[in-house]
Structure 1
């Protein structure tokens, strides 16, 4: 693959195009300043204004959320995996029907494989604009987002309504549901009973990995973060590993499925047969399947990078009560 062809598979942090009306809570006070980024795959945005940077199917999606301090992403659920790592800032994640079943605070580099099938939300509790990177299971990201009833009800008061097929209509733009199109139904009490309410003690030990713990694990070889035999044991349709300067080496890598490289700290050089590229934190690179490549730090100092690789497994459930 030529350098030009590979460059088309790199999304630079400075080139990211946000959507500020991606979801039904985009006008709700407290959530109305968030930015959504769809980097690889279709993502779960409900807005036709969402820009997709790379549409090539990978078996999973890569996205990001950028939010100023005190901005919150409302309670929602997914049918497939949702994994976040903190690129910048300090974030509080919370879950449960009303967001009070459990919570955890994540710092830069920490990663959270949020259990599928529970309501979850998150907010930037830092002092500056923060950003979290997301990996979503499946090429269709599980068919969209399932919102807690209060989120849909609150959105009506601020001009946004979601159709039963998951398309967003913005009353502030003069939009309304077309004739014959019904609004997204609110979950019934019986349906809500099927959503688990795990405690912090249930979730954190099995679904959260701390940056500095991973640095220690990656002392001699890349640390397996998410996968069948990884620190966070799961099979969500992709595997995630963590590479540091000490564990990078210069051995060529090759995968049967596409891989995605996402630096957390430092600059990284990716070399393949026909060229090379340098990545910085916030950049995202898609490496095609069956491509020989190496990934190494391009300078001394602290360096860390996450790598996600599709496995071809179904993007299955992660929460087991």
Structure 2
């Protein structure tokens, strides 16, 4: 594969195209400054304005959220796995019907495999603009987002209406639901009982991996972060490894499906049969299936990257501890 062909499968941090109207809370005070990015796959955006950088199916989606300090993403749920790692900033994740069942604060490099089927939100509690990278299970990411009822109700007061088909309409821009199409129905009290309210003690030990803990495990071989035998034991349709300077291999290798490289720290030289490139934190690279390649730090200093590859497991519910 030529460098020119491979460049079409690389999304540089500085080339990310944000969407500020991706979801129903786009006009809600406190959430109206967030930026959403769809990097690989169709994502779950409710807006036709969302730009998709790479549409090649991988068995999962890659996205990102960028937010200034004190900006939050409203309470929502997914039908498939949602995994975040912090690229920059300091973030508070919270969950439950009203967002008060539990919470955790994540720093740069920390990774959170949020349990499927609970309402979750997050906010930037740092002092600068921050970015979190996301992995969503399945090529269609479970068919979209399920919002807590109060989010839909509050959004209506700011002009945004979500159709039953999952598309946004801005009444302040003169838009209205098409004939024959109704608004997204609110979850009933009976339906809401199906959404668990796990505590912080339930969630953090089983679903959060701290960056420096994972780095310590990657001293000789890549650390399995998410997978059947991973630190966060799960089978959500993809696996996540962390590779560091100590565990990067000189050997070329390949996968039988597309894989993704996402640096967290340091600069990484990736070479393959036909070319080479350098990735920096915030860059995302999709490596074609069957292509021999390798990644090594290209400079001195700390260096780590997350590696994601799909599996044959269905993109269903995350594993729940017993």
TMscore range, shorter length: over 0.9
2:162 is aligned to 162
Q: What is the RMSD of the two structures over their aligned residues, measured on CA atoms?
A: 0.7
1:216 is aligned to 216
2:260 is aligned to 260
Alignment of 1:302-313 (within 5 A): 302-313=302-313
Pair 1:89-2:53 in alignment: no
Measure, in 2, the Cα distance between the counterparts of 1:239 and 1:280: 22
1:240 is aligned to 240
Normalising by structure 2, what TM-score?
0.99
Normalising by structure 1, what TM-score?
0.99
Alignment of 1:132-143 (within 5 A): 132-143=132-143
2:20 is aligned to 20
Q: What are the ranges of 5 or more consecutive residues in structure 2 without an aligned counterpart?
A: none
Helix, strand or coil for the counterpart of 1:172? helix
Alignment of 1:121-140 (within 5 A): 121-140=121-140
Deviation at 1:55, TM superposition (A): 0.3
2:105 is aligned to 105
Helix, strand or coil for the counterpart of 1:216? helix
Pair 1:204-2:179 in alignment: no
Measure, in 1, the Cα distance between the counterparts of 2:175 and 2:16: 27
Deviation at 1:39, TM superposition (A): 0.2
In the TM superposition, structure 1's runs of 4+ consecutive aligned residues that sit over 4 Å from their partners are: none
**1:40-77 deviation digits (Å, cap 9, x = unpaired):** 00000000000000000000000000000000000000
1:231 is aligned to 231
Deviation at 1:319, TM superposition (A): 4.8
Alignment of 1:2-21 (within 5 A): 2-21=2-21
Measure, in 2, the Cα distance between the counterparts of 1:277 and 1:136: 26
Pair 1:192-2:161 in alignment: no
Deviation at 1:313, TM superposition (A): 1.6
2:77 is aligned to 77
Alignment of 1:26-45 (within 5 A): 26-45=26-45
**1:1-59 deviation digits (Å, cap 9, x = unpaired):** 11111110000001000000000000000000000000000000000000000000000
Query: Larger deviation: 185-194 or 310-319?
Result: 310-319
Q: What are the ranges of 5 or more consecutive residues in structure 1 without an aligned counterpart?
A: none
Measure, in 2, the Cα distance between the counterparts of 1:170 and 1:273: 49
Measure, in 2, the Cα distance between the counterparts of 1:197 and 1:251: 45
- Is contact 2:80-2:141 (8 Å) kept? yes
Deviation at 1:249, TM superposition (A): 2.1
2:51 is aligned to 51
Measure, in 1, the Cα distance between the counterparts of 2:312 and 2:98: 34
Pair 1:280-2:280 in alignment: yes
Aligned length: 321
Measure, in 2, the Cα distance between the counterparts of 1:251 and 1:225: 21
Helix, strand or coil for the counterpart of 1:295? strand
Helix, strand or coil for the counterpart of 2:206? helix
- Is contact 2:234-2:319 (8 Å) kept? no
